[in-house]
Each structure stands twice: as C-alpha cells, then as structure tokens.
Chains A and B, each alone.
Chain A
C-alpha cells in the first residue's frame, strides 16, 4: 500500500512540475516580450488554468504529510535552503500573476511582471535544486536527522537547478507555441527550437556532474533505470525541438514528459530509499519506513482514493472548457 501512495505522491508532484512548469516557463518568457500586447497574450494563454495548476503541489505535499509524515519532516528540513528557495519562488509567482493586472498604471504592472519573471526563475531553480538534492542524498545521522545545511551547496545541485530551469523554459515555449494565436505562436516555436539544444546541454551537464559526484554515485541504487530515463529525457527534448514548429501538440507532449521525468528518475533511481543518507547508508529512510502506519494508510486509501477520479475529472473539465488557441475573445482576467 505504501508503494501505491509513493507512486501517487510522485504522480502529483510530477503533474505539478508539468503544469506549474509551463506557468513558470511562460512567466519567465515574459522577459522576452516587452510589448503590452505580447504580455497580455501570454497571461491570457495561462489564464484559466493558473489556479488549477498549483493545487497539484499543495496536494502533493498534503500526500507527503498524510502518507509519509516521517519523510516529510526529514526531507523538507534536510533540504531546507533548496525548499525555501522553491517556496519563495512559488509564492511570488502565485501572487504576482494574480495581482499584476489589478493596478491600471503601466509602471506598476511592469514591476509586477518583473516579480513574475524573477519568481518563475527562482521557483524553477529551487525545484531543480530540491530534485538534485534528493539524488545526492542527505547526511542523515544515527537519529535520522540531517544536521546543518552545507551539504546542499554542491556543483551537482547547481547543475540540477540550471537543468530544470532550461527544461521549464523549453516547456513554456512549447505551451505558447500550442496555445497562442498563429502569429505569436510561431515566434515561440522558433524560440523553442533554438532552446531545445541548450536544454539538452544543461541536462547533459547535470548528468556529467552527477556521474563525477561520489555522493550521487552512492545514492543511485538503480543505475540502469537512471540511465534509461536520462536517455528518454534527452530523446523527448530532441523530439520537442524538431517537432515544435510543425506539430506543437507533439512538442508539448514531449516537453511535458521531459519535465515529469526528473521526478520519476529521482524516485526510481534511489529506490528502495525515499531519502538516501550520504553519511550513513543504514540511516537512510526507505519508502516502507517512511510511510505512515497501516491504519492511516488504510484510512487515506478508503477516504481519499475514491475521490481521485472526481479531482481528475474536474481538472479535465477545466482543460476541455478552455481548450484550443486563444483569440480576441479569450477571457481576460490576470
């Protein structure tokens, strides 16, 4: 049963990165669009989906608290600086996107746009750092607490942060290529085609730094799976880069896969550990140890699981109602 909930946690967090990822990708692409119309078009594109995207993060952390409370405490506090960075970015984007169009003054709107851009970059870097931090393990001591925060600041964490930033940027470009009206969509498709090789480079760099890191090599329990997923990730990016100008739907599917894969990679590569201890492997927390005890998991399985189709159904409804390219009649709010 804990495997099921671990998979659900992965599913919610990966879905958050895919959906929140295009919020951040499009958010930081505001920096490439100085015109008032261009920025309005980007905000209209994410408009109806924005509120429904971030809930996946809140739900993922909720699953962590409910089904893996022990892991939740040690994971979040063990990677404190990385988590705090991601959290700050998430909060800034959430607030700035929703408030930027409320003041009428163009000057204040530009200031909020800068907050969206900065928040998007910080959120992407933060989540990259969190995932990389998980893949290199946390120095849990015998009491299964990590002391200090120095272990987070490594070249691999920096490379991981940059890699996710690159992934999210390509993903945002693919979303805009799919969602904007034909003219501006082409602009972002061409941008995405240029960015895809850079993203492959960033992912390759992170992989190389990881392969050279003793901590990452020790933490990866399933090297075969890790390499396989890395290959799939790079392939997805290559497909996205070639398909984006002609088939943006395929490209968006490919970048979605590419953004989700780091989560699956970290989860599968460190299996059976949920949190690998770089100080003392015996202090590492396996998925089974991390899980809440049986009565709690049974309760959640009976009370929450039957409602999952409803959660998914309402999200699908929102995607369906607001599907297609935006046009002059798209609702404007953010």
Chain B
C-alpha cells in the first residue's frame, strides 16, 4: 500500500483524537479556574463540590489528551522525517517551546493541584490551577504558531536545500495565526460550555439530587457557550479574508489568484495536481451549519429567568443533544484546514510526498493499525469512564479533593476509593 496515504491516515486519526480531548481540556480548565476562584473568594462549599465534580471529569479527559499527544509528537519523527529534515530549523522551534515551557509546566502543576488538596495553602492551590490554565493556553498558542507556519510559511530563507529561520517575529505575527488561534480557543470554550450545560441538563432531566448544584453549572455552561459561539463564528469568518491572500487554492478562493499560483508552482515544481480535493467544501458547510445552530442556543439564555429553562424541560433536551455538535464541528473545521492544504505539507514549499519518511508500506500499515487499535481502545475506555462519572454526579466520595480524614486508616479493609 501507498506509505504516504497510510502516514496521512495515521496522522489524521491521531490528530483528530488528540484534538477532541484538547478541546475539552482547554474549555473545562477555563471553567474550573472560574469555579476555583469563586470558591477561594466566597468560601462557599457548593463551589468546592462543583470544582471537585468538574475537576474529576477534567482530569479523566486529560489522560487521553496526553496519551494521544505523545503519539502525535513521536509521529513527526517516525513518519514525517522529510518535514524535520527540510523545514525543521523553522517548524521545530515553536514545537520545542510548546513542550519545554508550556506542557512541561502544565502537567507538573496539574500533578500538584490534584494531590495538593488540603495539603497546600489555599492561595497556592488556586495559583496552581491558574498555572495549569495559562500553560494550556500557551500550549495552544505555540501549536498554532507551528500549524500556521505550515499553512503560510514566513520568516525563512532556503539555503543549501533546507529552510533557515530568518525572522521569528514573522512567525508570531503570521496572518494565518491570529484569527485561527482565536477560532480554536473559542471553539474549545464552546465545547467545554456545552459539555457542562449538557451534563447538567441530563441531571436536571433525571431529577437526580443536587438540583441547585446542576442548576448553577447549567447556567455557567450556557452563558459560556453563547458568548464563545459568537466569538467562534466571528473568528471563523475572519479567516476567509486571510485565506484569500495566503492560500488562494483552499476553499475555492478567487479563481484568478488560484490559477496564477498553480501556474507558478507548475513552473517551480513541475506539472502536478495542486488543487485540494473538492470534497473539503462538505465539512466546511457542516461546520458552518453547526455554528449557526449553536448560535440559536442563545435564545435559551433569557429562559434562565425564574428557571423556565428547567421548568419547560425541552431546553434541557436541546442542550443534552447539542453535546456532540461542537466535537463534530471542530473535526470538520480541522479537516477543512488540513486537507485544504493538500498536496502540501508546507504550503507551496514542501509536498507531503517529500515530507513522508521513505519507509515501506508494510511498516506504515503495521504502525497505523497498531497505534489506531491501541489508542482507539484507550479512547473508548476513557469515554465510558467519563460518561459514568458524569452520570454519578457530585458524589461526596469523589477521590479528587477528598478530605484527608475521610480516608480509612491503614490497614484499610477495602481502599476502593473511587
């Protein structure tokens, strides 16, 4: 089989899986920061219970964010050695920054936050969560710097057959970066908000205990979703303006610009098919449809008055069924952005054919099947656990933040501490 196709498939599956978890991580951590800060300021126990419940879900989701992320990081070297060889001088720097100054600290802080409950001073504990959130955003920033460079390479020159960095500032002010970063971050907030509203709606529909608790998180989730959806749609449409100049062949930009660019490439790189697959318009339309659909959820906000949103019931069902939508829209957006760049790994600079490792089809196939099965099984297991915890509600013996005295003294008969 064609190693290039297999390598692309593997990258697409790993990235999509990673993206689903990252969205929830980024969205929920922002809401956790709000809950933790509110608890710190007001000292109300209900905020602590909300924090422990949503924090547990956040941490469960984080697990596969790391799992898929590590595979993704290694894949650059394993399957795309041509990419590092030719443009690594430029593309590698933001990725190195991401791992060193963002992810490294994010996980270190998170470990201390999870285990530091009742052990650290309240202010230090809160500061750790702020640290987790800020480094998560920093992480998103650096990854998008790297991605924007693949979309629109800037700040480099070619010498001795490889790209060299000339202007790092240009990478940071890349027109392909700003609105895309805003779009992704806002989409993450939509995802976190809908998840919070949807899970709360489920509890309110089932009339589980903790009505007040889920009433509060329903409101937080709904307001977040409304505000963030407006931002997502705005940043989304802003990108069309950028694309018209940076990537005319994507999404059927001005046909004249597109044809001129393809002519230029044909002269430089020889004849070939330089248009992305025509079907990339389909996920784009799906995403736009979902985006407008989610905008309509804004009409539910006034229903919070006198709890009509809960008493009428049907808004709760709407929110529950909306939970998969941001995930679907995000994957569609991702496919539009990435497949729309074909046949290029780096737009107008390096084709995917030249970027892929010259390995045999058999090896790539084994790697694709092996890692897809492994990650697939872990993802499914993770989602089952996530759903069970979401359904159990803010149970007092959640392991996260359990008071130390509640723990049975050793020797423990059954430390089945869930």
Contacts and interface: CB of A to CB of B under 8 A. Distances in A.
B99 A77 contact: no
Nearest to A181: B410
25 contacts: A36-B416, A52-B107, A56-B104, A58-B103, A66-B93, A66-B95, A69-B88, A70-B85, A72-B76, A76-B74, A80-B363, A83-B78, A94-B63, A94-B67, A102-B60, A102-B418, A145-B81, A292-B93, A304-B97, A311-B100, A311-B101, A315-B108, A321-B116, A331-B118, A333-B400
A309 interface: no
B337 interface: no
Interface string A81-121: 00110011011101100110111101000000000000000
A267 to B, nearest CB: 18
Interface string B114-128: 111111100000000
Nearest to B171: A299
Given A77-B357, A292-B88, A293-B165, A61 B100 contact: no
B13 interface: no
A2 interface: no
Contacts of A83: 74, 77-78
Interface in B108-161: 108-112, 114-120
Contacts of B116: 48, 321, 331
B398 to A, nearest CB: 10
A300 B93 contact: yes
Interface in A295-334: 295-296, 299-300, 303-304, 307, 310-311, 314-315, 317-318, 321-322, 327-329, 331-333
Interface residues of A, number: 75
A119 B74 CA distance: 17
Interface string B149-180: 00000000000001011101000000000000
B92 A69 contact: yes
Nearest to A87: B74
Contact of B108 (A57, A65, A106, A314): A314
A328 B100 contact: no
Given A73-B357, A300-B93, A327-B410, A62 B98 contact: yes
Interface stretch (B217-225, B248-256, B377-385): B377-385
B415 interface: yes
B90 A77 contact: no
A36 B84 contact: no
Given A292-B88, A296-B165, A332-B417, A91 B70 contact: yes
Contact of B358 (A49, A69, A145): A145
Given A52-B111, A77-B81, A321-B119, A103 B370 contact: no
Contact of B66 (A73, A75, A94, A318): A94
B62 to A, nearest CB: 8
Contacts of B77: 61, 64-65, 72-73, 75-77, 83
A84 B111 contact: no
Interface stretch (B24-32, B195-203, B321-329, B401-409): B401-409
- Give the interface size class of chain B: 35 or more
Contacts of B112: 48, 52, 317-318, 321
Contacts of A69: 84-85, 88-89, 91-92
Interface string B225-247: 00000000000000000000000
B414 interface: yes
Contacts of A201: none
A260 interface: no
A95 B85 contact: no
A106 B416 CA distance: 8
Contacts of B82: 73
Contact of A61 (B66, B74, B115, B357): B74
A211 interface: no
Interface of B: 59-60, 63-64, 66-67, 69-71, 73-74, 76-85, 88-93, 95-101, 103-105, 107-112, 114-120, 162, 164-166, 168, 357-360, 363, 367, 370-371, 374-375, 378, 381-382, 385, 388-389, 399-400, 402, 404, 407, 409-412, 414-418
Contacts of A87: 70-71, 74
Contact of B99 (A47, A62, A321): A62
A37 interface: yes
Contacts of B76: 65, 72-73
Given A65-B95, A80-B367, A328-B410, 7 more contacts: A59-B104, A61-B77, A62-B96, A76-B74, A145-B358, A299-B168, A332-B402
B79, B100, B116 — most chain A CB neighbours (10 Å): B100
A124 interface: no
B111 A318 contact: yes
**Closest 5 pairs (CB-CB, A-B):** A69-B88, A66-B96, A62-B99, A73-B81, A76-B77
Contacts of A40: 412, 415
A52 B108 contact: yes
A6 to B, nearest CB: 14
A274 interface: no
A45 interface: no
A103 B165 contact: no
A271 interface: no
Contacts of B83: 73
Nearest to A85: B370
Contacts of B415: 36-37, 40, 332
Nearest to B375: A91
B91 to A, nearest CB: 8
A149 B399 contact: no
B59 to A, nearest CB: 8
Given A58-B99, A304-B101, A37 B93 contact: no
A303 B142 CA distance: 13
Given A80-B363, A101-B399, A58 B166 contact: no
Contacts of B108: 51-52, 55, 311, 314-315, 318
